[in-house]
Amino acid sequence: MTDINFKYVDNSGLIGKEEYKARLERNLPSLDRALKGEEKYKDTLGWHNVSLWAGEEWLEKYEETALRVRKDADALVVIGIGGSNQAARAVYEALGRKNDVEIIWAGNTISPYSMNEVLKSLENKKSVYVDCIAKNFETLEPGIAFRVIRNFLDKRYGDSYSSRVIVTFTENTPSWNMAEKEGYTLLPFPSNIGGRYTALSPICLFPLAVAGFDIKAMVKGAKDMESRLKSDHSILNVALEYATMRTMLKEKGKSVELLSYFEPRFFRFAKWWKQLFGESEGKEDKGLLPMDTSYSEDLHSLGQFVQDGSPMLFETFLNVTERESTCPLPSDELEDGFKYLDGKDFWEINKAAFNATLAAHSRRFPCLVLEIPRFDEETYGALFYFFQMACYVSCNITGVNPFDQNGVEDYKKDMFKLLGK
Tell me the closest approach of the beta carbon of residue 386 to a second copy, in angstroms. 19
CA distance readout (Å), 159 to 205, 271, 355:
28, 38, 59
- Binding of a second copy at residue 29 (CB under 8 A)? no
What does the alpha-carbon distance between residue 378 and residue 131 come to, in Å, rounded to a whole number?
24
HSE-CB at 390 with a 13 A cutoff on CA atoms is 25
State which residue, 62 or 314, has the beta carbon closest to a second copy: 314
- Binding of a second copy at residue 5 (CB under 8 A)? no
With 0-12 / 13-18 / 19 or more C-beta atoms within 10 angstroms meaning exposed / middle / buried, residue 284 is exposed
- Binding of a second copy at residue 60 (CB under 8 A)? no
Residue 242 near residue 370, CB atoms below 8 Å:
yes
State which residue, 102 or 345, has the beta carbon closest to a second copy: 345
Choose, by CB under 8 A, the member of 9, 14, 28, 148 that binds a second copy. Answer: 148
- Binding of a second copy at residue 157 (CB under 8 A)? no
- Number of residues near a second copy (by CB under 8 A): 115
Choose, by CB under 8 A, the member of 17, 57, 159, 334 that binds a second copy. Answer: 334
Instruction: Respond yes or no on whether the N-terminal peptide bond of residue 296 is cis (omega within 30° of 0).
Output: yes
- Binding of a second copy at residue 217 (CB under 8 A)? no
- Binding of a second copy at residue 335 (CB under 8 A)? yes
Choose, by CB under 8 A, the member of 13, 158, 253, 337 that binds a second copy. Answer: 337
Tell me the closest approach of the beta carbon of residue 181 to a second copy, in angstroms. 9
What does the alpha-carbon distance between residue 170 and residue 191 come to, in Å, rounded to a whole number?
6
State which residue, 61 or 265, has the beta carbon closest to a second copy: 265
State which residue, 5 or 338, has the beta carbon closest to a second copy: 338
Annotated active-site positions, please? 279, 300, 412
- Binding of a second copy at residue 290 (CB under 8 A)? yes
State which residue, 62 or 169, has the beta carbon closest to a second copy: 169
- Binding of a second copy at residue 399 (CB under 8 A)? no
Choose, by CB under 8 A, the member of 350, 371, 373, 401 that binds a second copy. Answer: 350
State which residue, 237 or 357, has the beta carbon closest to a second copy: 357
Choose, by CB under 8 A, the member of 138, 214, 232, 371 that binds a second copy. Answer: 138
Tell me the closest approach of the beta carbon of residue 134 to a second copy, in angstroms. 10
Contact range with a second copy by CB under 8 A, out of 34-42, 66-74, 205-213, 348-356: 348-356
The footprint of a second copy on residues 223-262 (CB under 8 A) is 255-256, 262
- Binding of a second copy at residue 281 (CB under 8 A)? yes
- Binding of a second copy at residue 163 (CB under 8 A)? no
Convert residues 190-209 into a mask of x (bound to a second copy by CB under 8 A) and - (unbound). Answer: -----xx-------------
Q: Which residues of 393-409 are buried (b: 16+ CB within 10 A; e: fewer)?
A: bbbbbbebbbbebeeee
Choose, by CB under 8 A, the member of 2, 108, 185, 260 that binds a second copy. Answer: 108
- Binding of a second copy at residue 343 (CB under 8 A)? no
The footprint of a second copy on residues 311-330 (CB under 8 A) is 311-313, 324-327, 329-330
- Binding of a second copy at residue 62 (CB under 8 A)? no
Tell me the closest approach of the beta carbon of residue 325 to a second copy, in angstroms. 4
- Binding of a second copy at residue 17 (CB under 8 A)? no
Contact range with a second copy by CB under 8 A, out of 3-11, 29-37, 386-394, 399-407: 399-407
**Which residue in 218, 353, 379, 232 sits closest to 299, CA to CA?**
353
